[in-house]
Amino acid sequence: MNIAIFGYRGLVGQELCKRIYPLMNDKIYVYTMRSTDKLHKKLNRDIGKFRFLICCCTSSLAYQLLKITKKIRWEGYFIDASSLLRYGKTIVLDIINKQKIIQCVKEGQKIFCGGNCTVSILLTALGGIVGKLYIEKLICNTYQAISGCGRVMINNFIKQIRSIVIKEGACEYYIENKPCPRSLCFNISTWIGDKKAEEEEKICKETNSILGSDIRIYSTCVRVNVIRCHSEAVIIKLSKDISLDTFRKMIRKKYTKIVSDTPDDTKRFLNPIYVSKKKYIFVGRIRKLSPGVFSMFIVGDQLLWGAVDPLIRLYYIIRRII
Ligand SMILES: NC(=O)c1ccc[n+]([C@@H]2O[C@H](COP(=O)([O-])OP(=O)(O)OC[C@H]3O[C@@H](n4cnc5c(N)ncnc54)[C@H](OP(=O)(O)O)[C@@H]3O)[C@@H](O)[C@H]2O)c1
């Protein structure tokens, strides 16, 4: 039961190739979507070799791939990292919905998708609360890394840094000149998405879809000058009042690290550079604002927690069932 990884040249594809350990002698095949004509031929030739197809492409390429697999009546498991299928299929986040995933697999569902990276990080941090206490309201403001936008954006960012820092001397250049306001370098982008504020909509819809809830969620998403790891400032209103200590204990799980609310620890541990490539979601600045209302700051590696890890764990879940 081999695995085919599509879009292996991208950031998610590269991370997936590094981190997936195939079970029971499964082998990994990697494919690029550079030419869909050739891909069609290759798929016709190779399709019998694999049972899992993990798609790490943009949603338009994922759509084409899904179309080809349907046309050739492939019956394996299609696991997609993009947003293409998120409003029809089960969004996988086993920390929250493992039982649902198992039930879907047993019922014969073959198509699954990963969630939006900020949502997966947020819900992983809230894993100890979900299902135990009713969440009335969430306010989630994000500070998202440039790698959340893919390889091309990272390449542009690096080019800008080179041209500004190396050629011009950053400080002098920025003080004396007025650079392009769309610059990523030493700047933030206060709108993520095209016409709609897609990221904010995704947080609201996907969170409620994964939880099967109707929580009021308000969000402002911003792209910041950070290479890797998304940060989120969260305010949560619970239907019941609990103590700050109980809240902290509920957040502390095997996949979260609680950072003590001191200046030293917060500055050292609660930032994207420290958290990069770590297998934990870091949660700090945990405070009680009023009865049942808490605030916290979350930092998580969006390529791992937000993209790759839930898909790898899904493969393990399915592989152990079938
Ligand atoms: N980045 C994140 O943090 C994140 C988190 C959650 C979900 N996702 C979703 O996962 C999917 C993949 O995201 P991504 O961040 O990996 O996007 P990406 O780096 O832009 O890669 C997407 C695809 O673009 C193609 N590509 C085109 N030019 C390229 C170049 N110069 N270098 C490398 N690849 C190039 C590659 O396809 P081929 O290899 O087929 O040529 C690659 O698989 C997207 O649908 C995204 O929405 C991303």
Q: Do 198 and 182 fall into the same domain?
A: no
Q: Do 77 and 129 fall into the same domain?
A: no
Domain that holds residue 9: 2-115+307-321
Q: Do 197 and 224 fall into the same domain?
A: yes
Q: Do 8 and 138 fall into the same domain?
A: no
Q: Which residues contact 141 (CB under 8 A, 6 or more apart)?
A: 219, 220, 221, 222, 232, 233, 234
pLDDT at 226: 94
Q: Which two tokens stand for residue 12?
A: 């998610």
pTM for this predicted structure: 0.91
Pocket perturbation via mutation, ligand 1, pick of 11, 39, 64, 83 by most ligand atoms within 8 A of CB:
11
Pocket perturbation via mutation, ligand 1, pick of 112, 117, 151 by most ligand atoms within 8 A of CB:
151
Helix or strand or coil: residue 61? helix
Q: What is the dihedral of CA 298, 130, 214, 245, to 10 degrees?
A: -60
Q: Which CATH number is 249's domain given?
A: 3.30.360.10
Q: Do 139 and 246 fall into the same domain?
A: yes
State the 10-residue block means of pLDDT for the chain, 322 residues long. 89 93 82 72 76 92 87 89 87 93 94 95 93 91 95 89 69 68 82 83 93 93 95 96 95 94 96 96 97 97 94 94 86
Q: Do 85 and 13 fall into the same domain?
A: yes
Q: Do 104 and 124 fall into the same domain?
A: no
Q: Do 220 and 131 fall into the same domain?
A: yes
Contact (CB, 8 A) for 286 and 260? no
Contact (CB, 8 A) for 200 and 221? yes
pLDDT at 178: 67
Nearest to 12 by CA among 49, 50, 51, 61: 61
Q: Do 175 and 110 fall into the same domain?
A: no
CA atoms within 13 A on the CB side of 288: 13
Q: How far is the CA of 176 from the centre of ligand 1 (A)?
A: 36
Mean pLDDT rounded to a whole number for the chain: 89
pLDDT at 90: 84
Report pLDDT digits (tens) over 110-131.
Answer: 999 999 999 999 999 999 998 8
Minimum-distance ligand 1 atom for the alpha carbon of 15: 16
Q: Which residues contact 192 (CB under 8 A, 6 or more apart)?
A: 144, 198, 199, 200, 221, 222, 223
Nearest to 6 by CA among 36, 44, 41, 45: 36
pLDDT at 322: 83
Q: Do 285 and 176 fall into the same domain?
A: no
Whether 117 is catalytic is yes
Q: How many domains does the chain have?
A: 3
Q: Which CATH number is 32's domain given?
A: 3.40.50.720
Neighbour-count burial for 198-220, b at 16+ CB within 10 Å, e otherwise:
ebbebbbbbbbbbbeeeeebebb
The residue assigned the tokens 């990963």 is: 114
Helix axes 198-211, 117-125, angle to 10 degrees: 50
According to DSSP, the residues that pair with 294 across neighbouring strands are: 236, 288
For residues 163 and 167, what is the distance between their CA atoms, to the nearest angstrom? 5
Q: Among 186, 207, 239, give the residue marking a domain's end.
A: 186
pLDDT at 169: 60
Q: How far is the CA of 151 from the centre of ligand 1 (A)?
A: 6
Ligand 1 first shell, C-beta below 6 A: 7-13, 32-34, 56-59, 81-83, 117, 147-148, 150-152, 302-303, 306-307
Q: Do 157 and 283 fall into the same domain?
A: no
Q: Which of 56, 117, 221, 229 is catalytic?
A: 117
pLDDT at 264: 96
Q: Which two tokens stand for residue 309?
A: 């890890």
Report pLDDT digits (tens) over 253-301.
Answer: 999 999 999 999 999 999 999 999 998 999 999 999 999 999 999 999 9
Residue 38's CB is within 10 A of a number of other CB atoms, namely 12
CA distances from 73 to 69, 108, 245 (A): 6, 15, 54
Phi first, then psi, for residue 161 (nearest 5°) are -60, -45
Q: Among 135, 169, 186, give the residue marking a domain's end.
A: 186
- Give 188-195 contacts, CB < 8 A, sequence gap 24+: 188/222, 188/223, 188/224, 188/225, 189/222, 189/223, 190/222, 192/144, 192/221, 192/222, 192/223
pLDDT at 173: 66
Whether 230 is catalytic is yes
- Strand locations in 252-322 (E): 256-258, 281-290, 293-300
Minimum-distance ligand 1 atom for the alpha carbon of 151: 19
Q: Do 315 and 288 fall into the same domain?
A: no
pLDDT at 304: 95
Q: Which residues contact 70 (CB under 8 A, 6 or more apart)?
A: none
